[in-house]
Chains A and B, each alone.
Chain A
Amino acid sequence: MLGSYDFCGHYEWTFAWLKSQGQPGLLEAYWEDAIGRDSQAHARDAIVQHGLEGMKAYWGHTMNEESPDQGYTISSEGNRFRMDIHDCPSKGFLLRNNLEQFPDYCDHCIGWIGPVMREAGYAVNHEHNHRGQCWWEMFPENDGHAKAGTETIGARYDSKRLAQWDTGETPIDRFVHAHGVQDKKH
């Protein structure tokens, strides 16, 4: 039986298996369809139907369930929503267990969240450092400040303030006004 306890391990292994099938766009379709529309249908419904309130409800529940040590913060201002992940429970599991079959596990999040945000009329600014830290801002499509990549919410727990945010050991992937993996700047 495939279990939930080590889910992140066989989930990451699955990315490599899908990639090995040699079909361009297959992995991106998996994140958008299987994860975004099927597995995370509850998140998609909440966000598409309720926008910012849906984001607060979904991530408030999910991050608490997956990260009981509270290695994250969520905040909002106006129509904008922000998350700072300091100790990602998912990537952390892989790092602690030396599991890496696929080169950029972190892409799976924008892989399903990006298309959901597009459908909800939002776009995403995001960076991840491949060491379990990232930040996200979701904002309405036409938000001019956010379009320019400017952070608009003064996050008290900004992941970029962490001493280990940019050690030069791993690249930092950047997304501006993004709706999916294809919008990666790095």
Chain B
Amino acid sequence: MEAAKIQSALPYRDTKAQGAADFYFAINATFRFIIEKFGIDSWKQYLETMGRSYFEPVNRGWKSGGLEAVAAYWKEFFAAEPNVVVDICRDENEVVLNVVSCPALNHLRAHGRTPVKQYCQHCYYLGQARAQEADMEMRLTGGNGVCQHRYIAKTRGLAPQSMDAIKKVTP
């Protein structure tokens, strides 16, 4: 009998089970550097390009696997992040991620770091670029530590993302 092959939804695997939380310092610092040097539009372009390029293997999996693949990815993604509280739901139309406690903002604040006020927007710019590659849409509401991400089949009519629906991050 052929042994069952365990396939991960994560395209890039490490030898340890979870990432080191201090890397959130570098992610935040990178955002600050790009925003200060080039402005918000270039930062958005950086995230969208990364979403289409670096995450291409994930997007491809989402395109072929649909919402089931999206849910599986986020389940594994958050299992590999330290100190996260998230609820992931899926129905036939969408995948909803209810982030109850954002690991990045929690870690930054716990260590006296100041998150860029646009920090939560990165989830939308990155998520929407990746969703569109998979013929889906992504919408985000909330932020500043608690938020909701929705991945929705593109065929459904959907209002554009309101950037006012994404909270600015406070120190």
Partner of B126, one of A2, A21, A30: A2
Name which of A60-68, A121-129, A151-159 contacts chain B: A60-68
Nearest B residue to A2, CB-CB = B27
CB of B21 within 8 A of chain A? yes
A44 to chain B, nearest CB (A): 12
Are A34 and B12 neighbours in the complex by a CB distance under 8 Å? no
Are B46 and A3 neighbours in the complex by a CB distance under 8 Å? no
Partner of A39, one of B29, B50, B104: B29
Partner of B12, one of A6, A33, A40, A69: A6
CB of B93 within 8 A of chain A? no
CB of A38 within 8 A of chain B? yes
Instruction: Name the interface residues of B46-71: CB closer than 8 Å to any CB of A.
Output: 46, 49-50, 53-54
In the complex, what residues of A have CB within 8 A of residue B33's CB? 30, 33-34, 38
CB of A167 within 8 A of chain B? no
CB of B80 within 8 A of chain A? yes
Report the bound CA distance from A33 to B30 in whole Å.
10
Report the bound CA distance from A93 to B15 in whole Å.
8
In the complex, what residues of B have CB within 8 A of residue A96's CB? 13-15
* A interface, over-half SS: helix
- Number of B interface residues, CB 8 Å? 40
In the complex, what residues of A have CB within 8 A of residue B14's CB? 5-6, 89, 93, 96
In the complex, what residues of A have CB within 8 A of residue B22's CB? 4, 62, 65
A to B contact number (C-beta, < 8 Å): 103
Name which of A11-19, A77-85, A168-176, A177-185 contacts chain B: A11-19
B58 to chain A, nearest CB (A): 10
CB of B171 within 8 A of chain A? no
Known: A2-B27, A65-B20. A34 touches B104 (CB 8 A): no
Among B10, B19, B38, B46, residue most surrounded by chain A Cβ atoms (within 10 Å): B19
CB of B5 within 8 A of chain A? no
Instruction: Name the interface residues of B108-150: CB closer than 8 Å to any CB of A.
Output: 111, 122-123, 126-127
- 22 residue pairs from A and B, CB less than 8 Å apart: A1-B104, A1-B126, A2-B27, A4-B81, A4-B104, A5-B10, A5-B77, A5-B80, A6-B12, A6-B14, A7-B26, A13-B53, A34-B30, A34-B33, A38-B28, A65-B22, A66-B20, A89-B15, A93-B12, A93-B14, A97-B11, A101-B54
3 shortest A-B CB distances, which residue pairs? A4-B19, A5-B19, A38-B29
- Given A2-B126, A35-B29, A65-B22, 6 more A-B residue pairs with CB atoms under 8 Å apart are A1-B77, A4-B104, A5-B19, A13-B54, A30-B30, A40-B26
